[in-house]
Amino acid sequence: MPIYEYRCESCAEKFEVLTRFAERDTAQVCPACESTRTRVLVSSFAFGSGGGESSMSDFASESTGGGGCSCGGACSCGSPN
């Protein structure tokens, strides 16, 4: 089950809940004020290959051109289009 981040509309407290995707949009109880006026937030996440530092350098060497962008060209932000 994924962890979702919520913000309470009553007290502005942010908190996390481990819940199923199907229950993500249902109102959660705020642990600070016990209000159910809560909203799910869009959260970022990190991805790790688990292979250590060498696997990240292997991945970087496989990318083809990127026009100097930090993504290695995966998003086409460095392409001349």
Number of H helices, E strands in the chain: 1, 3
Domain boundaries, the chain: 3-40
Mean pLDDT of the chain: 77
Cβ atoms of 42 and 23 within 8 Å: the answer is no
Q: Could you say which residues of the chain have pLDDT below 50?
A: 55-56, 59, 61-63, 66
Chain-centroid distance, C-alpha 10? 24
Partnered with residue 40 across adjacent β-strands are 6
Give per-residue pLDDT as tens, 47-62: 777 665 554 455 454 4
Single pTM value for the model: 0.54
